[in-house]
Structure 1
């Protein structure tokens, strides 16, 4: 049966089509769901559900497996709503995934309403690999900013620990950014969206509330104009931690700098001067600089020059 609900499908939900699991990567999902194919059955897979082994797919593997849903113009998958067999919403299934690790995180954020938090990723769909302990923790809308502040205070008070050197290096290798490790770390340490509670590591992930779904970046395919590097003042950072991350800037040509990689989420804040490089796309008569069109990018980036000056980091790009 097709999915029917008065609740829209939104970012960080998962949908199941048969035995394939897709993560939702957008908010405009009225007709077809913007997603990435993440998990598929595989006899050599390292995780199991209902007696079936599954594998986490690379981007290239996902295209091969799910090519019927792949949109080449967008670089994502478009799943028609009528083909969806099941929807997994983090806020609705929190109790189902409440193991000891998740419970520690939930209890730390006890002042936030339970219906405004959840867990996404492999835990949400019952495909957590044995030995996996990281928690992909979602908090919605305005409550996310409260949660982020609690992390900051928690680290300062010693209730939480910021990632240790080994963890930072693991994240850096995984993200493989064009920034030097020193520059990457300077940006990450002030974001306060990663922490340890005891031995449990978690990420704090932002998703708009249901009353905010029409805000943010227009989810349309733009007309590619040119590759460009700019320096500009950030005048609005409300969606700096969203997907995509959006930085509205004071610039004669560019409306906003936009990034589709979590690497550059929360990279610059209101009032700071940023430097960004990427492809300019025209959407509805406005130009946006797309600096991070995929997870790993080598010539696209966002850097806070204000932060680099404060930290006295001159060489922030890998030469």
Structure 2
């Protein structure tokens, strides 16, 4: 039989097929839904974290400690230590993935469908408003509970923008729509609820002060939505870093180009430490060029001796933060 595809083509096809991105969800035959947390694969596994368990036909959301305890008891083979991230998380072998949930496909389906529940109607409204501002939704997706169809009446909308330029155009569109009063800024009660969910190490006043200048969240028809950024072009290999010790440092931001990426990266002015890497959404877009910040996180070093500070070295990132102290 003649070979249909060259080995080079087939290798590229497989690589693209398994190019997972943060904000994707993957589902296993056991009825587990994991959120992907790192691009690509490590040792043939998608790095992820358990978010939902199918319990008698109903999807039950898992808190961090609950997810870890569940896997330790029922599926310890999904627990994983990542030498690249030097962190304990979850991982699923590609051959054990029963279904892949992709944000762009889900948003396209909602925008093209005729029948919607209340949250999908708000997604449709938001999508139409963004299109009226010149946004091309082909590079935008939806993640969270809506991606996997387990949304409730009170669920938020979590939009994902693929590409830095797309994300910043979307931020500008949200800002313009707020000024036009077609979208609404968060009210005090909404900010308080957002702060409660984040459970971060900043004061409420500091949290709101930083958030209000990001323009990556607003309200549509009384429902909160968030924007996040995935940069597919930068999903290549990563170096291994080893955790050294907790550190708190005051430094100045010198490069904020990747401030809204996942993970966020802030280059800093420091003789021994090159940058801050942030894995928690609370501190995405937290600081801009020239600003003096106080950062608390985990100091890490790679084999070449390069050092950086990680904020979000654990899922909860308790005691870790970025706070602007002089703009």
Same fold? TM cut 0.5:
yes
2:79 corresponds to which of 70, 73, 89: 70
Q: 1:219 to 1:168 in 2, by over 3 A?
A: farther
What is the number of residues matched between the two proteins?
292
1:11 maps to which residue? 22
Distance 2:289 2:129 in 1: 28
Deviation at 1:260, TM superposition (A): 1.6
Contact kept? 1:25, 1:35, Cα under 8 Å: yes
Distance 1:245 1:219 in 2: 14
Question: Quick check: 1:134 aligned with 2:156?
Answer: yes
Moved more, 177-186 or 70-79: 70-79
1:46 maps to which residue? none
Deviation at 1:221, TM superposition (A): 4.3
Deviation at 1:74, TM superposition (A): 1.9
Distance 1:89 1:11 in 2: 10
Deviation at 1:199, TM superposition (A): 2.0
State the superposition RMSD in angstroms. 2.0
Contact kept? 1:92, 1:115, Cα under 8 Å: no
1:37 maps to which residue? 50
Question: Quick check: 1:185 aligned with 2:185?
Answer: no
Find the residue that maps to 1:242 and give its secondary structure. coil
Give ranges in structure 2 of 5+ residues lacking alignment. 1-12, 112-119
Distance 2:38 2:312 in 1: 16
Distance 1:5 1:91 in 2: 19
Distance 2:314 2:158 in 1: 20
Find the residue that maps to 2:257 and give its secondary structure. coil
1:195 maps to which residue? 218
Distance 2:37 2:69 in 1: 19
Contact kept? 1:263, 1:295, Cα under 8 Å: no
Distance 1:97 1:200 in 2: 17
Find the residue that maps to 2:208 and give its secondary structure. helix
2:179 corresponds to which of 147, 156, 170: 156
Find the residue that maps to 2:169 and give its secondary structure. helix
Contact kept? 1:262, 1:295, Cα under 8 Å: no
2:35 maps to which residue? 23
Find the residue that maps to 2:298 and give its secondary structure. strand
Deviation at 1:270, TM superposition (A): 1.6
Find the residue that maps to 2:106 and give its secondary structure. coil
Instruction: Give deviations 1:247-286, integer Å, cap 9, x for gaps.
Output: 1111111111122211111110122111101110002421
Distance 1:158 1:24 in 2: 35
TM norm structure 2 = 0.84
1:71-86 alignment, distance < 5 Å: 71-72=80-81, 74-86=87-99
2:142 maps to which residue? 119
1:317 maps to which residue? none
Contact kept? 1:276, 1:303, Cα under 8 Å: yes
Q: 1:97 to 1:22 in 2, by over 3 A?
A: farther
Deviation at 1:295, TM superposition (A): 4.6
